[in-house]
Structure 1
C-alpha cells in the first residue's frame, strides 16, 4: 500500500508542476460564417465537375483558406474557394482548388475511402453539438471518401457509406469539384433556421500541405468544436430515410478430400439470400435491419497465436455492426476492454459433438445471425441513442457413423440486447451517458454455458476553460447467472482464476449460481492550449467482473494507475515539420493488495522537413509480477526488463515509400528477450495500382515459458521450459482501380509461428528475485525424451520410477489467408462482388526452419477455396 500512495503522490505532483508552468494563452480564433441560400425549383447545377452553371451565381465565394500543417496560420501554397447552395432535397458544393502546376496534381485511383492524392474534404456538424460530424472527401481523381466523425475529431469511422454524387475536372488553373449531397444522408433537428458547424480542408499531396477554411490552431483542444458556421438553411424539410438492400449469394467451396469423411468430399455449393434495410424513423434516428446477413466480401482475420492463454481480440469488419459503432462503444479502460464487443454475435459455437472412434463431424464455424435490428442516432437537443437487438440460431454439429447421421447441439438459441444513451449539456462541453446489455440463452442441455449475462454502466465527461482541461470517467457492473457448473467454470477461467493457490481474497465456490462484479475508470488532464498535454487516472476491475458474453474483458482483479505528459512544437523548425516528446508511468495492483507492476517509458516522434519520420522510445520495468502466468498457481515474478524501439519511414508522397522498425527488450539474468523486425513497402507504379507489403519477424526466447501443471508427491508441480519462438508474418495488399467505382483488391497473409523447447525446469519459489532461486532445472538423470510416444519422462527423485510425463510442447503453427475481390458499385449504393478466398491452416514440423515451413506447409499444400458472387441493390424510397 505504501507504493500505491507514492504513485498517487507522484501523479498529483505531476499535475501541479505542469499546471504551474508558464505557457502562452490558448489562441482565440473568430468564427467564420458562410451564408447559403435556396435555389429556385429546377435550377440545380449539373454535377459534371465544371463550375459553369448559373445556379452558382446565386451565392458568394468562400475563400481565405489558411495553412494548418505544417506551418499553421500562414498563407497556403495555393488558395482554394467554394460555394454552397441547396434546394429542398440536396446540398450542392462547388470547389475551386488553384494550382499553378496542374500537371503535378496527384490523381491516384483507389477504392472508396482510399484517401490518396490531392483531395478536399467538406465536413458538416449538422447536429451543431461540437463533437460529431459528417465528412465528405473527394480526390482530384474523383474517388469518394465519407466518414462519420465523433469524439470531437478523435474517431473517424469510414464504414459510413452514404449515397451522394460527385464529379471533378482538371484545367489550367488547377482542379474543380462539384458535390450533390442528399439531406436524407445527414442528421439534423427541426428549427426555422439551421445553424451547422462547417469546415473545408484541402490537402496538396505532393507538399503534404493541409489548409482549412476555418483556422484551427495547433494547440486547439479539439477539432469539430473549432469549426466555423454555416447559416442560411431556412425552412429545411427533414428527410426521412428509407433504403432497402437485398442481396443474393452464390458460393462454391473446394477443399482437400479426406478419405472416408463424407463431410470432406472435395467441394460444396450453396445459394443464400438476405436483406438489409435502413428506415428513418425521424431525421435524427434510424432503424437498421438485417435478415440472414452475409459477410463473404470481408477480409479474413489476421493470423495470431497466444502462448499466454488469453483470448485474442479481432477488430469488427462486418458492415452492419461497424456502422454507428461509436454510439454503442463503451470502452471503460485503456486497451480493448469494452462492455460491448460485437464479435460475440455470430461467434464460433462454444460446444462440440461427443464422438467415438470412426465417427466424422461437420462442425459449424460460426453461429447464424437469424436477424438483427439497430435503432440509433443523435437528436438536435443532444441525445445520442442506440438500441441493438440480435438473435442467433441454434447451431448443430452433424455426426456421421458409417452413414447413420445425428445432430448434436453445439450453440444454443441466443438473444443479445444493447441499449446506449448519452446526453450533452453545459453548451456541449459536458455529457453523461449509460449503457445496458443483456445476453440470454436457451441452453437445452448446454449447462456449461452461462444462461444469462447482464451489464450496465454510467459514463461522463466534462470540459472547461475553452475545452483546455477535461475530466472523464465511468463505472460499470456485471451480473452473470447459470448452473453451478457454468459459474464454477467462470471462476476458474484465466480471466478470474479464483483457484489461485496464494490468493486470500477469492476462492472457488462450486455451489454458486451467479457472480456480480464492478469496474471503472477516472481520468483528468489537459488536452489543449500551448505546448504541453498531460493526463492521469485510475482503472479498476473487480475479481468478479465478467463481460465476455457480449463484451470483451481480458483480465479481472486489477487496479491500474497511469500518468502521461507530452510536449509538442507549435511551429516547424529548419529541420522538422513537428516534434512530439512524451513520458508515461503506469503501475498495477490486485484486490489482494499486491503491488504487481510498474513501468516507465519515454518516446519521441519526429516529422522531418522532407516529410520522413522517426519514432524512438525507451522503457524500464523494474517490477513485473503476474497472477495468471501459472494458470491458477501462485503469483509469478519476471526479472526486471528494459526495452527500446525505433521506427523510421520515408516520404509518403513518393511512388515508393518504406518503413523500417525494430523493437528490442531484455530481462535481467537472461530471463527472456524479444526482438521484432518490421519492414514495410508501398509502391504505386502508376495512379491505378498500389502494392503494399508489411513484413514482421519476431524472435522471442524465454527460459521460463509455462508448459503444464502436474503433481509430485501430492503437491502441484508447475513445469516451465526454455522456448525459442520465432514468428513470421507478411501482409500483402494489391489494389487496382479501373475507375473510382470499379476496383480489384488482393489481400494475402502467410503466418508462421514455431516454438522449440529445451532445458525444462519447475517452479521452486515463484516470487524470488533471483531467477536461479525461482526455478530448478532438471538434470539429465531426471528427464529423458521418448521418441516413440513423443513425451518427456521425468524421474524427479531419481529412484528409477517415472514420476510424471510431459507431452512434447514443440509446435509449428502455419496459416495462410487470402481474398481476391472485384467490387463494382454499378449505381451509388448498389454493388456486385466477385470473391475468391483461399486458406491453409495446419501444423508444420518444429524442426524445420520458418522458410521450410512456408514452402512445405503453405506453398506445398492443397488449399481450401471459396468462390462467390454477391449482388446487392439499394432501393432508396
Structure 2
C-alpha cells in the first residue's frame, strides 16, 4: 500500500506540474481546389501534362517531421488537387537532385518500400479518423484507415483507386485518382475536409509533411490542414458486388480402413460478398458462404498453462471497419468482440468406440453475415454485425453403420456499437451490446451456453487542446444455460470458482446463469513537451464472462497501473530519438489478496545511422497466481527479474538483420527462461525479398504443474521439474512481378520438446522458499511403468499404488506453409492460386529437436491443399 501511495503522489505531481506548460499552436494550412467543369479529366499516366492540372495552383513548402522536426527537408514536394462529380485527383511533384538515387522497391500491397508519398483525407473532418492513400515510386499502392486520432492504423482496408508514377530529370511524379464512392462525406453544398500529405525520402529515412505537426502534438488527424473549394459534391452511394468461385483439392496420407481418410477430397464452392452504400456515410457489407482459404495460417504455439491463445483476425470481412466494433475494455486483448469466435472449431468432441472412425469439420461454416457500419457527419459511429453459423455434425462409422452427432449448433451472433463525438470532437460517449444465441438440440451440447449477452458504455474527454485526457468504460455480462454449462463455466480456467482457499468463491452446481462486471478508468497527459504519464484502475469481477463472442483471459482481478515516459523531440549526438518508459502495476483479487507488484523499465534508442536498440527490465518482487494449480490454492512464484535486449539494423539496406535475447530467472533458480531470436531480410533485386526469422528457447521450471488427484479424500496437486526446448523458424519469400501480380510464400516449422523429472506434491503453496512449497517423492514412492507409460505413486509406502500420473513428457511437431499467387487483373477483382501444406504430430520426447525435424517434418508426407479462387467486383 505504501508503494501505491508513492506512485499516486508522483503521478499527481507530474500532472499538476504540467498544467503550467503552454499548449503550442501551429497555423493550419489551407488548399483550395477547383472542379474540372467542362474540362476533360486528366489521364492517369504519371505525367502531369494534362491541361486540367493548370486550373489550380501548386502547394508545397513541406517541413521535415522526422528525424529533425520543423527544419527544411532534403528535397521539396508539391501537389495539386482537382475533382469532378465522380473522382478526386492528386498530382505530385517530388523533387530530387539525384534521380538515379531514387529507390524503386516493389512489394506486395501495403508494403511501404522505397520512396513514397502519402495523402490523408479526413472527409468527415472529425479530428479522429482519416482515409490514407500512399503511392511508392515503383507504383505500389498502400492504403488504410486511420482512427483514434492516429493511434490506430488499419491496413486491411483495400479501396479501389488508380495510380501511375514516373521518374524524370527533376525527380519523380505521381498521379492518383480516387473514386468519391470510396470516401465518406456529408451532403453540405460546400465541403471542408481535413488534409495531410507525407513524403518519405528513403536515402536519409526522412519524413516531411505538408502540414507541420510537432512531435509533441496531441495527435495526428486533429492537426491536419484543410482542403477547401469542394462545392456541389453529391455523396456517392457505393454499391459493389463480388461473387467468387472456388475449387479445392486436399491430398493426405490415406488411412487404411478409414472411409473418411481416402487420400484426397475435392470441393467446388461459391459465394458472394457485397458492399452497399445505404447512405454515403453508412455501408452495408454482406457475405454469403464466405471462404477464407487464401488467408495465412496462424503461427504455431504450445500451451502448458491451460489458457486460451489470442490470434489476430485476418479474414477480410471481419477486418474491414473493425475499429468501429472494437471495445477493448481492460488490457489490450480483453474485448467484448473477438471475431475469431465466429466460424471457430466445433466445440463438441464425441467419444469414438474402439475400432470406429470419425470425421469432424475443422471449422464451423458461416452461412452468412451482414455488417452495417460507418460514421455520420454528426459524429455518430455506428456498427451492427449479424452472423449465423451452421449446424456441424461429426460422422462416426462403426462397422457398416454411420452415425451423425451434432457437435456445433445453429448459432446467431450479434454486436451493436455506437459512439458519439461532441464538445468540438474533444469528447465522446459510446455503448455496445452483444448477443449469442444457440439452438441446443441435444443433451450432448448441454455443456454450452444457450445464450450470452454483454453490454457496456465508454467515454473519453480531452481538455487544454488535448493535452490531458480522462477515459473509462464499464461492462456487464450475463450467460445462461443448463446447470452443467454454468458449472463448467464456474470451473474453467477463466474463473476457477473451485479454488480451495478462495473464501469469496464457491461452485454452485444449481446455478443456471452468471452475471459479472468489469471496467477501466484512466487519466493522463498525452501531449506537449517531453513527458507523458497516465494512471489507471481496471477490474474484472469473478462472474464476468465474455468468451462466447469476446475474449477474456482471466476474471477476479483488480489492477492498478501507472506509467511515466520521456521522449526526445530533436536528434542529438548519435541519436535520432530516445524513448523511455517507467511502469508500475499491482493487482489484487476480489478477496483482497495482494497478488502482484511489478516494475518495468524500457528504453528505445534510434541512432542516426537508423539502427535501433531496445532494452527492457522487469522486476516482480511479489507474484502469486490464482490459476497455476488450476483449481488449487493460491500459489507463490519466486521473486523474478526479467531482462531483454534487441538490435535491429538499418531498414533501408537491402540486407538487414535483427537479434534479440530474452532472459528471466526466479530467485534461488526456481525457474528460468532464455530465448534467442534472430532474423534477416534480403532483397537482392527490387522485385524479390527473402526473410528468415528463427528462435530457440529453453525453459526450466522446478515446479511445473502437471495434474491433480486425491489421496484418502485429500486433494493432491502434483508438479515436477520441466526442461523444455523449443525451436521455431519462419520463412517468407515475396516476388512481385508488378504491383498487381505477386507471389508469396510463408513456411513455419515448429518443434517443442519437454521432459519431466523430480516429481512432487504441493504442501505449502505460499512458502517464501520454493523448495518448501513442495515435497519430493523419493525412489520408494514413485515408479515408472514402461508398459503403461505412467508413473505410479505409493505415497504412504505400503506397497499399494495410491494414484497414477500419465507420463507428461511431450514432443510437439508442426509445419505450416502457404504459397499464394495473387493477381489483381482489374482493380478490385482478384485471382488466387494457393498451395498449403501442413504436418502436425506428436514426436518422440527422447529425441533431440534436430532429429525430430528430420523424422517428423522432412521424413513425413504432408497434407496438401490446392486452391483456385477467382473474384469479380461489379461496381453499380
Q: Contact conserved, 2:15 with 2:525, CA < 8 A, in 1?
A: no
The match for 1:149 is: 146
Q: State the Cα distance separating 1:19 from its structure 2 match.
A: 3.6
Q: State the Cα distance separating 1:402 from its structure 2 match.
A: 2.3
Q: Contact conserved, 2:790 with 2:804, CA < 8 A, in 1?
A: yes
2:425 is aligned with 1:428:
yes
Which deviates more, 690-699 or 309-318?
690-699
Q: Contact conserved, 2:560 with 2:587, CA < 8 A, in 1?
A: yes
Q: Structure 1 residues 524, 785: CA separation in 2 closer, same or farther (over 3 Å shift)?
A: same
Residues 493-514 of structure 1: CA distance to partner in whole angstroms, max 9, x if unpaired?
A: 1100111111111111111100
Q: State the Cα distance separating 1:299 from its structure 2 match.
A: 0.2
Q: State the Cα distance separating 1:850 from its structure 2 match.
A: 1.0
Residues 683-707 of structure 1: CA distance to partner in whole angstroms, max 9, x if unpaired?
A: 1001000111111111111000000
Q: State the Cα distance separating 1:558 from its structure 2 match.
A: 0.5
The normalised TM-score by structure 1 is: 0.99
The match for 1:575 is: 574
Which deviates more, 106-115 or 738-747?
106-115
2:693 is aligned with 1:672:
no
2:538 is aligned with 1:533:
no
Aligned length: 874
2:404 is aligned with 1:407:
yes
Partners of 1:632 and 1:95 in 2: CA distance? 63
Question: Secondary structure at 1:289's aligned position in 2?
Answer: strand
Partners of 2:4 and 2:706 in 1: CA distance? 35
Q: Contact conserved, 1:708 with 1:720, CA < 8 A, in 2?
A: yes
Q: Contact conserved, 2:15 with 2:524, CA < 8 A, in 1?
A: no
Q: Contact conserved, 1:400 with 1:406, CA < 8 A, in 2?
A: yes
Q: State the Cα distance separating 1:92 from its structure 2 match.
A: 0.3
Residues 140-196 of structure 1: CA distance to partner in whole angstroms, max 9, x if unpaired?
A: 000001101101111111111111111000011111000000110000111111111
Q: Contact conserved, 1:26 with 1:219, CA < 8 A, in 2?
A: no
- Give unpaired runs (5+ residues) of structure 2: none
Q: Contact conserved, 2:11 with 2:534, CA < 8 A, in 1?
A: no
The match for 1:483 is: 482
Q: State the Cα distance separating 1:26 from its structure 2 match.
A: 3.5
Partners of 2:370 and 2:606 in 1: CA distance? 45
The match for 2:78 is: 81
Partners of 1:332 and 1:58 in 2: CA distance? 50
Q: Contact conserved, 1:604 with 1:616, CA < 8 A, in 2?
A: yes
Q: For 2:169, which of 158, 168, 172 is the aligned residue?
A: 172
Partners of 1:21 and 1:229 in 2: CA distance? 30
2:512 is aligned with 1:497:
no
2:358 is aligned with 1:367:
no
Partners of 1:156 and 1:22 in 2: CA distance? 30
2:710 is aligned with 1:711:
yes
Question: Secondary structure at 1:14's aligned position in 2?
Answer: helix
Partners of 1:165 and 1:223 in 2: CA distance? 26
- Aligned runs of 1:89-104 on 2, under 5 Å? 89-104=86-101
Q: State the Cα distance separating 1:803 from its structure 2 match.
A: 1.4
Q: State the Cα distance separating 1:574 from its structure 2 match.
A: 2.1
The match for 2:314 is: 317
2:619 is aligned with 1:620:
yes
Partners of 2:403 and 2:545 in 1: CA distance? 35
The match for 1:122 is: 119
Question: Secondary structure at 2:733's aligned position in 1?
Answer: strand
Question: Secondary structure at 1:237's aligned position in 2?
Answer: coil
Residues 553-578 of structure 1: CA distance to partner in whole angstroms, max 9, x if unpaired?
A: 00000011100010011100121000
Partners of 2:727 and 2:633 in 1: CA distance? 33
Q: Contact conserved, 1:277 with 1:288, CA < 8 A, in 2?
A: yes
Residues 173-220 of structure 1: CA distance to partner in whole angstroms, max 9, x if unpaired?
A: 111000000110000111111111100000011211000000000111
- Aligned runs of 1:221-620 on 2, under 5 Å? 221-445=218-442, 446-620=445-619
Q: State the Cα distance separating 1:18 from its structure 2 match.
A: 5.2
Question: Secondary structure at 1:20's aligned position in 2?
Answer: helix
Question: Secondary structure at 2:469's aligned position in 1?
Answer: strand
Question: Secondary structure at 2:34's aligned position in 1?
Answer: coil
Partners of 1:798 and 1:360 in 2: CA distance? 43
The match for 1:793 is: 792
Residues 581-640 of structure 1: CA distance to partner in whole angstroms, max 9, x if unpaired?
A: 110001110001100001001111000010001001112100110100111110000100
Q: For 1:112, which of 109, 112, 125 is the aligned residue?
A: 109
Residues 793-834 of structure 1: CA distance to partner in whole angstroms, max 9, x if unpaired?
A: 111122222111111000011111000000000000000000
Residues 224-250 of structure 1: CA distance to partner in whole angstroms, max 9, x if unpaired?
A: 001000000011011000000000001
Partners of 2:792 and 2:500 in 1: CA distance? 26
Q: For 2:196, which of 183, 195, 199 is the aligned residue?
A: 199
Partners of 1:124 and 1:12 in 2: CA distance? 42
Residues 257-276 of structure 1: CA distance to partner in whole angstroms, max 9, x if unpaired?
A: 11111111100101000000
Which deviates more, 321-330 or 396-405?
396-405
Residues 126-145 of structure 1: CA distance to partner in whole angstroms, max 9, x if unpaired?
A: 11000000000000000001
The match for 2:805 is: 806
- Aligned runs of 1:654-669 on 2, under 5 Å? 654-669=653-668
Q: State the Cα distance separating 1:17 from its structure 2 match.
A: 3.7
Q: Contact conserved, 1:694 with 1:731, CA < 8 A, in 2?
A: yes
Q: State the Cα distance separating 1:22 from its structure 2 match.
A: 9.2
Q: State the Cα distance separating 1:15 from its structure 2 match.
A: 2.8
The match for 1:860 is: 859
Partners of 2:97 and 2:358 in 1: CA distance? 68
The normalised TM-score by structure 2 is: 0.99
Q: State the Cα distance separating 1:42 from its structure 2 match.
A: 4.9
The match for 2:628 is: 629
Q: Contact conserved, 2:698 with 2:724, CA < 8 A, in 1?
A: yes
Q: State the Cα distance separating 1:730 from its structure 2 match.
A: 1.0
Q: Contact conserved, 1:23 with 1:530, CA < 8 A, in 2?
A: no
The match for 2:754 is: 755
Q: State the Cα distance separating 1:713 from its structure 2 match.
A: 2.1
The match for 1:842 is: 841
Residues 413-448 of structure 1: CA distance to partner in whole angstroms, max 9, x if unpaired?
A: 000000000000000000000000000000001211
| Aligned-residue RMSD, C-alpha | 1.0
Partners of 1:694 and 1:338 in 2: CA distance? 30
Q: For 1:30, which of 22, 27, 52 is the aligned residue?
A: 27
Residues 32-59 of structure 1: CA distance to partner in whole angstroms, max 9, x if unpaired?
A: 0000010023511000000001100000
Partners of 1:557 and 1:301 in 2: CA distance? 30
- Aligned runs of 1:767-786 on 2, under 5 Å? 767-786=766-785
Partners of 1:807 and 1:765 in 2: CA distance? 24
Q: State the Cα distance separating 1:753 from its structure 2 match.
A: 1.1
Q: State the Cα distance separating 1:400 from its structure 2 match.
A: 1.3
The match for 2:642 is: 643
Q: State the Cα distance separating 1:23 from its structure 2 match.
A: 7.9
2:12 is aligned with 1:15:
yes
Q: Contact conserved, 2:242 with 2:873, CA < 8 A, in 1?
A: yes
Partners of 1:6 and 1:654 in 2: CA distance? 46
Which deviates more, 637-646 or 39-48?
39-48
Partners of 1:99 and 1:851 in 2: CA distance? 51
Partners of 2:567 and 2:111 in 1: CA distance? 29
The match for 2:178 is: 181
The match for 1:732 is: 731
Q: Contact conserved, 1:41 with 1:87, CA < 8 A, in 2?
A: no
Partners of 1:435 and 1:42 in 2: CA distance? 48
Q: Contact conserved, 1:820 with 1:836, CA < 8 A, in 2?
A: yes
Q: Contact conserved, 2:23 with 2:464, CA < 8 A, in 1?
A: no
Partners of 2:434 and 2:679 in 1: CA distance? 41
2:65 is aligned with 1:68:
yes
Q: Contact conserved, 2:39 with 2:52, CA < 8 A, in 1?
A: no
